[in-house]
């Protein structure tokens, strides 16, 4: 068993520096539902108001951190576990991290949620009927899957389990991108609580780390 090491500068100190809390917005939905589009639009809106943001996007993460993983159920579970742990580090860094991952399984989304303090994890269900996602076919994946050239595509021959109680559900075939962003900004604002006006002084460094600063939960 490895004992956690604690450090002097804590999450709260980083949040005070940023002027906002760390949160994860977790986008789930079919390929083509609009996860990347909405993560991008939300990040632009947040960045313009000087929030500290980062996007973890499924396709990009699969080119690096998770490039050893495929699309079997077991690999999808490991893919989600890794990105959830990375998102947890970003939240501890005091940032607003936007995770755009199909994340098809309810149990794995729940496992991701449980890594966070309640209120830190905001699940956004990017919801479109399969027929709409398939018609958009932004990456040509549905056509490939229908022709038999691609296996394990979520919604076709791999299951998608829709969230039962997401923090926000957005029908991207019915709402404009701007309307979706407005709703996400409202959700994020209501998740922020109040920030202390004055930063708590960070203790001077000692030869040993402060033991009163809790490590990650």
Ligand X SMILES: Nc1ncnc2c1ncn2[C@@H]1O[C@H](COP(=O)(O)OP(=O)(O)O)[C@@H](O)[C@H]1O
Instruction: Judge whether 103 counts as a catalytic residue.
Output: yes
Catalytic residue among 72, 103, 191, 207: 103
Q: Rounded to 5 degrees, what angle do the CA atoms 114, 83, 118 make?
A: 25
100 is a contact residue toward ligand X (CB under 6 A): yes
Nearer to Mg ion, 36 or 79 (CB): 36
- Size of the residue set binding ligand X (CB under 6 A): 18
Say if residue 130 carries a ligand binding annotation: no
Edge-to-edge strands, sheet with 121-127: 53-57, 96-100, 23-28, 121-127, 168-171
Q: Hey, what's the torsion of the CAs at 185, 125, 193, 213, to 10 degrees?
A: -120
Say if residue 34 carries a ligand binding annotation: yes
What sign results for the dihedral spanned by CA atoms 98, 127, 102, 30? negative
Residue 32 binding result from Mg ion, ligand X, none, given CB thresholds of 5 to 8 Å by partner type: ligand X
Give CA–CA dist 187/181, Å, rounded: 10
The residues of the shown chain that bind Mg ion, judged by CB under 5 A, are 35-36
Among 38, 80, 124, 145, binds ligand X (CB under 6 A): 38
Say if residue 29 carries a ligand binding annotation: yes
Residue 117 binding result from Mg ion, ligand X, none, given CB thresholds of 5 to 8 Å by partner type: none
Say if residue 176 carries a ligand binding annotation: no
**Residue 89: CB atoms within 10 Å:** 12
Nearer to Mg ion, 10 or 100 (CB): 100
Q: Name the phi and psi angles at 53, rounded to 5.
A: -130, 160
Q: Which residue's entry shows tokens 């690096």?
A: 64
Sole window of 16-24, 25-33, 75-83, 155-163 interacting with ligand X (rule: CB under 6 A): 25-33
Say if residue 158 carries a ligand binding annotation: no
Sole window of 36-44, 73-81, 89-97, 204-212 interacting with ligand X (rule: CB under 6 A): 36-44
The DSSP line for 101-135 is: -----HHHHHHHHHTS-TTSEEEEEEE--HHHHHH
Nearer to Mg ion, 57 or 108 (CB): 57
Question: What residues form the annotated binding site?
Answer: 29-36
Question: What residues form the annotated binding site for ATP?
Answer: 29-36
Active site residues: 103
Binding region for ligand X (CB under 6 A): 29, 31-38, 100, 126, 136, 138, 172, 175-177, 180
């Amino acid at each position: 068993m490895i004992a956690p090491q604690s450090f002097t500068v804590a999450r709260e100190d980083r949040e005070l520096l940023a002027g906002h809390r760390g949160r994860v917005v977790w986008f789930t939905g079919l390929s083509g539902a609009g996860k990347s589009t909405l993560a991008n639009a939300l990040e632009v809106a947040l960045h313009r108001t000087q929030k500290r943001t980062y996007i973890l996007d499924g396709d990009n993460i699969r080119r690096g951190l998770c490039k050893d993983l495929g699309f079997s159920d077991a690999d999808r579970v490991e893919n989600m576990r890794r990105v959830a742990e990375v998102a947890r580090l970003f939240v501890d860094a005091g940032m607003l991290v936007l995770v755009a991952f199909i994340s098809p399984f309810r149990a794995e989304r729940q496992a991701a949620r449980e890594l966070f303090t309640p209120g830190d994890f905001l699940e956004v269900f990017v919801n479109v009927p399969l027929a709409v996602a398939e018609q958009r076919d932004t990456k040509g994946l549905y056509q490939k899957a229908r022709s038999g050239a691609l296996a394990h595509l979520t919604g076709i021959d791999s299951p998608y389990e829709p969230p039962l109680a997401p923090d926000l559900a957005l029908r991207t075939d019915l709402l404009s991108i701007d309307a979706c962003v407005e709703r996400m900004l409202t959700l994020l604002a209501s998740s922020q609580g109040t920030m202390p006006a004055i930063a708590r002084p960070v203790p001077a460094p000692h030869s040993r780390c402060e033991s009163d600063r809790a490590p990650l939960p």
